[in-house]
Structure 1
């Protein structure tokens, strides 16, 4: 009986850890998409090379 409890607890822990990893991976992917979208926006390269990038952005 105690072996069954340990197996169920281990399986539950594995599922929780896997879900946490997937959530973190999804968040990272969304952040990368947002950064790539901003970086590829028209005028970003020119603005970053201007004397006052903050004002031009």
Structure 2
């Protein structure tokens, strides 16, 4: 298992969010990190030729 260090302020924010979802802070952080890693992998696997734009 790896450890990360977060500030007291960030921990308090995470605790409030975790309490709303009735989970602990560790579970919240693990889910956020996992989801972010999946998101990054998705874009790394995308073709550079895939059109992408923010135009409406």
- Which is richer in helix? 1
Q: TM-score, normalised by structure 2?
A: 0.46
Higher relative contact order (CA 8 A, sep 6+): 2
| Greater radius of gyration (CA) | 1
